[in-house]
Chain A
Amino acid sequence: MAIEISDKTINHEFIEKINQLSGQDIRLCFQCGTCGGACPMSENMQTLPRRIMRMLQFGMAHRIADVETGWECASCHSCTVSCPRGIDVARVMEAVRLLVLRKNINRIEPSRLPDGAVREMPQVALVSGFRKLTS
């Protein structure tokens, strides 16, 4: 599929916001794919972190909104400790999530979780899940 990339399509404000929130410089990524290779969730991902980084570099805010990757991330920091460019990729994924969550949108609805699961799960699962996936 051909995609148009020009100064008209690049959302510079979006790039700046991601850099501010993550404290990272996403331009540093040189697309080696080490992040996806290290990611324990990547076998089940449609879009690997490397591609997210490229979309971010081109300010493709509308495309990012349709991609699941940030919501499949477990914040395990395997990408972060592996990146040869020193990018804290886990922080970039957090920034991608927060741009949605800060619009007061929940990714999971606590009230709709199965009863049994909530009863048997350790608090640390619920607290961390709600911190990462709800607004």
Chain B
Amino acid sequence: MKVSYYPGCTLKTKAKHLEDSALASLTALGVQVGELPRWNCCGAVHSLADDDLIHHVAPVRDLVRAMNEGSERLVTLCSMCYNSLARANLLMRHDEIKRKTINDFMNEENDYHGEVEVEHLITFLRDTVGWDNLRAKIKVPLSGMKIAAYYGCTLVRPKDVAIEPPHGRVMNEFVEALGAEAVDFSANTVCCGSYQVLAHPDVVVDVVGRIIASASDGGADALILSCPLCEYNLVKKQGELLQQQKIARKLPVFYFSQLLAMALGLGPESYRPDRNDAASVEFLRSKNFPVGSASVQP
């Protein structure tokens, strides 16, 4: 079965540590995924208006390219890309009238009917690599770490693209497969405020405060996630909470794939601590993980 990889815009720049750590880990796990030779922005958010089809064209073009590559599956790392690609895919699979309109509009592309499966790396790890197989390849178990796995919105809502049923544990199972302890916390699917960081940055500070308090109260040493927008909000707004003396210290934040690379025994050139904030780098140092050239940033 051929699997294609869709990076999305942010993974080539601000979230390079999400991409680098994930791809190095997949190589270490002996899994082949080829980046789509040509791809465009997925649109980041799914258009919710019934009469707005033009905004579905971008993600559908990516799906067509995966199909043309002969891939049965398209794996994403970014939660927002996962959501917008998966929803566009369901639309093309189930809405006959909109499918025809979109296919007719994109007449330079092959017709698409939802042939490709869109999958997030976290469920790919569970279902294709397998937890037992992953556990067998762990070289540096993350024992003693208490990790809060934060889903955010786009991996679990709306229901038709949720990566698992409500109250699922795939992220916690992942944490446990790495040898760490998974911390349950009630805010694990509470929205971080998302794009409202542009219009209502102060509200986002409050929302992030509640998420961090929930994870910290659960006893977490660090938090993992898979969305570059969540990462930005949680790291950046914790800095403001610290300045406002609403938190005593920042909770370290990592992409889930960074912990994967660490547990697989890969070096800092793979898990890229140079892209993390000072609190996260300090946490790695305290656990005796090499941080390479990571300099301490505020």
- Whole-angstrom distance between the Cβ of A71 and the nearest chain B Cβ: 7
With A43-B206, A80-B157, A124-B8: A94-B48 Cβ-Cβ less than 8 Å: yes
In contact, A126 and B193 (Cβ under 8 angstroms) = no
B9 partner, pick from A120, A123, A131, beta carbons under 8 A: A123
Q: Given known contacts A40-B191, A77-B157, is B199 in contact with A125 (CB within 8 Å)?
A: no
Decide if A60 is an interface residue (CB 8 Å cutoff): no
The answer to the question of A78 belonging to the interface, with a C-beta cut-off of 8 Å to chain B, is yes
**B45 & A75 in contact (Cβ 8 Å cutoff):** yes
CB interface residues, A 98-135, toward B, < 8 Å: 98, 107-108, 113, 117, 120-129, 131-133
Q: Contacting A74 at CB < 8 Å: which of B52, B55, B193? A: B193
Instruction: Tell whether, in the assembled complex, residue B232 and residue A122 are in contact, meaning their CB atoms are under 8 Å apart.
Output: yes
Which parts of B8-42 form the interface with A (CB within 8 Å)? 8-10, 13-15, 41
Determine whether A91 belongs to the interface, using a CB cutoff of 8 Å to chain B: yes
Residue of B nearest to A107 (CB): B199
Interface residues on chain A, size class:
35 or more
- Please state if A124 and B44 are interface contacts (CB–CB under 8 Å): yes
CA distance A125 to B232 in the complex (A): 9
Q: Do the beta carbons of A128 and B45 come within 8 Å of each other?
A: yes
Contact of A132 among B195, B207, B236 (CB under 8 A): B195
Among B9, B49, B194, B229, point to the contact of A98 (Cβ < 8 A).
Answer: B49
**Which residues in B have their C-beta under 8 angstroms from that of A6?**
none
- Cβ contact within 8 Å between A133 and B199: yes
Contact A125 B198 (CB under 8 A): yes
| Majority secondary structure of chain A interface residues (helix, strand, loop or mixed) | helix
Residues A128 and B44 in contact, CB atoms below 8 Å apart: yes
Contacts of B158 in A (CB 8 A): 77, 80-81, 88, 90
A41 interfacial by beta-carbon distance below 8 Å: yes
Tell me if B296 counts as interface (CB < 8 A to partner A).
no
Interface residues of B in 131-163 (CB under 8 A from A): 153, 157-159
Residue A72 at the B interface, CB < 8 A?
Answer: yes
Q: Is A23 an interface residue (CB 8 A)?
A: yes
A133 CB to closest chain B CB (Å) equals: 6
Chain B CB within 10 Å, residue with most, of A40, A41, A78, A81: A40
B50 engages A124 (CB within 8 Å): no
**Does B200 contact A127, Cβ atoms closer than 8 Å?**
no
Residue from the list B44, B49, B157, B200 in contact with A72, Cβ < 8 A: B200
B179-200, CB under 8 A of A: which get 1 and which 0?
0000000000011011111111
**Contact for B157 among A81, A125, A128, CB less than 8 A:** A81
A23/B9 in contact, CB under 8 A:
no
The answer to whether B157 touches A22 (Cβ under 8 A) is no
Most buried by A among B44, B197, B207: B44
| In the complex, B80 has a CB within 8 A of chain A | yes
Nearest B residue (CB) for A45: B203
A123 CB contacts on chain B under 8 angstroms: 9-10, 13-14, 41, 44
Q: Is the CB of A76 within 8 A of B78?
A: no
- Give chain B residues whose Cβ lies under 8 Å from the Cβ of A81: 157-159
Which residue of chain A is the closest to B189 with respect to CB atoms? A78
Partner of B50, one of A20, A71, A122, A125: A20
Tell me, rounded to whole Å, the shortest Cβ–Cβ distance linking B253 to chain A: 13
Residue numbers in B under 8 Å from A127 (CB-CB) = 9, 41, 43-45
Contact of A125 among B41, B43, B203, B229 (CB under 8 A): B229
Sample of 11 A–B contacts (CB below 8 Å): A21-B50, A22-B49, A72-B199, A74-B191, A76-B153, A120-B236, A122-B228, A122-B232, A125-B195, A127-B44, A128-B80
The list of the 8 closest CB pairs from A to B, nearest first, reads A76-B191, A129-B195, A129-B198, A94-B48, A77-B157, A23-B50, A127-B44, A122-B14
Extra contacts, 7 of them, besides A88-B158, A125-B194 (Cβ < 8 A), are: A40-B191, A41-B193, A76-B157, A123-B10, A125-B229, A131-B195, A132-B45
A: residues with CB less than 8 A from B are 20-23, 40-41, 43-44, 71-72, 74-78, 80-81, 88, 90-91, 94-95, 98, 107-108, 113, 117, 120-129, 131-133
